[in-house]
Amino acid sequence: MARAVSTRTRRRAARRPRGRRLLWWGLLLGAIAVVGVTLALYPYPPLPAAEVEAARKAFQEARRDAGGLAPGPLNQAAAAATLMERLYAYDRGRLLRFTRVEALDAAISQTQAFSAQALTEASQLRSKQFEDGDNQRRQLESELASLAPDVKFLPPRERGARSAYARAELALAQAADAHRGGDLSRLDAALRAAQTEIELTRKTLGTRYERFRSPQWRRRWQAWVDSTVAASRGGKVAIVVDKLDRRLYLLRDGRVAATFDADLGRNALSGKATAGDGATPEGRYHITEKRSNGSTRWYKALVLNYPNAEDKKEFEAMRRRGEIPKGRGPGSLIEIHGFGGKQSNWTDGCVALQNTSMDSLFSQVPTGTPVTIVGIAQLPGEKAPESGPR
């Protein structure tokens, strides 16, 4: 009997730890189940894939369109985008995502904000550059237009300035087209090309017109003009032709009484040396004959005493220096005649006026009237002459 009680006691003692283990296992499994259900039902924040993609596109757009125009905010956008990508990779690699990564949200926001700032600054700067470029184009067009008269009246064989002028016109047309098309790089390139060609045109003209800036020549021409002005005093008349200004001045009693536009020889910028050189001579002459009523093919004409003694003397000096081709003479029959007004230098060396101007001049000057032809000079009451191409 005692043995049976002892056996039951041992069995009860053995069952107690097993029961406790089963209880603990049950509790553990219950806890695991609760955790599993909790994890399964927990509202995890989604990955900010759409926000990241939008920020990427914003940065790519800023990098493409802002370029070097807004380096400050673009660099800040690049730094924010780099941080965003690192944090996004970390967020995707997390096993459990109970909360959003606030630093990632901030990096996304900064990437978009700096990208937008870069685009805004670039747009403002681009607009300013377009405005400045168009202003520069207008200024260059004005500069080129101021050179047009001097280019137009160059000798036909003077290709350097004419070609540079034409290239400048083409570059400015391209600049206008680039401005209309919104192509800033093409606008800048066209403006640089136009500037280069205008400078070349001005330099070439400066060389061609160099004689008109020479103090020696200017003193000589002014002395001739002053003498001619003096000869017109006392109610007399005289004529001065300014080659650079392409004007004929009628003087009366020491003052300018009338001014006429004049066409000159095709090589008018040079001093006349030989027959056929197309240059209008420079010197002090007088009218030897008045022709009209069919006695000239140039409507009306005032014949000058070219070559005079000084011209012949200079011609012989040039011949001795070997500057005159063999068989060439100094030329002759230099006139002031009609059929001018062509707005170009086209004669063989004569001075051509419009027929209406020729009528007026013809009626006011007798034979013997002094005629002085100079490169450039100051006349009474007239604006001081410029020293070269305008």
Phi, psi (deg, nearest 5) at residue 268: -65, -25
Measured between alpha carbons, how far is 173 from 177 in angstroms, rounded to an integer?
6
Beta strands in the chain (DSSP E): 237-242, 247-252, 255-261, 283-291, 301-304, 335-337, 351-352, 370-374
pLDDT at 94 (0 to 100): 83
Helix, strand or coil for residue 236?
A: coil
Which of 208, 227, 252 delimits the end of a domain? 208
- Residues with Cβ within 8 Å of residue 233, at least 6 apart in sequence: 253, 254
Measured between alpha carbons, how far is 130 from 178 in angstroms, rounded to an integer?
10
Q: Are residues 199 and 277 in the same domain?
A: no
Q: Whole-number mean pLDDT of the chain?
A: 86
**What range does the domain containing 246 cover?**
215-374
Q: Are residues 171 and 222 in the same domain?
A: no
Is the per-residue pLDDT at 238 higher than 50? yes
Is the per-residue pLDDT at 200 higher than 80? yes
Is the per-residue pLDDT at 389 higher than 70? no
pLDDT at 373 (0 to 100): 95
Would you say 202 and 147 are in contact if contact means Cβ atoms under 8 Å apart?
Answer: yes
* Residue 337 banded pLDDT, cuts 50, 70, 90: very high
Q: Are residues 32 and 105 in the same domain?
A: yes
Q: Are residues 135 and 249 in the same domain?
A: no
Domain count within the chain: 2
Answer yes or no: is 68 within a domain.
Answer: yes
Is the per-residue pLDDT at 361 higher than 90? yes
Q: Are residues 200 and 227 in the same domain?
A: no
Is the full-model pTM beyond 0.75? Answer: no
- The CATH number for 240's domain is 2.40.440.10
Q: Are residues 85 and 119 in the same domain?
A: yes
pLDDT at 40 (0 to 100): 54
* Residue 332 banded pLDDT, cuts 50, 70, 90: confident
Answer yes or no: is 15 within a domain.
Answer: no
Q: Are residues 168 and 283 in the same domain?
A: no
Q: What element of type H or E holds 375?
A: none
Tell me the mean pLDDT in the region 230-237. 93
Answer yes or no: is 380 within a domain.
Answer: no
pLDDT at 113 (0 to 100): 95
More confident residue, 306 or 269: 306
* Residue 390 banded pLDDT, cuts 50, 70, 90: very low
pLDDT tens-place string over residues 4-27: 556 666 666 555 666 667 777 777
Measured between alpha carbons, how far is 298 from 55 in angstroms, rounded to an integer?
81
pLDDT tens-place string over residues 126-180: 899 889 999 999 999 999 999 998 888 777 667 788 899 999 999 999 999 999 9
* Residue 330 banded pLDDT, cuts 50, 70, 90: confident
The sheet carrying 301-304 orders its strands as: 255-261, 247-252, 237-242, 370-374, 283-291, 301-304, 335-337, 351-352
The phi-psi region of residue 375 (left if phi > 0; otherwise alpha if psi is between -120 and 50; otherwise beta) is: alpha
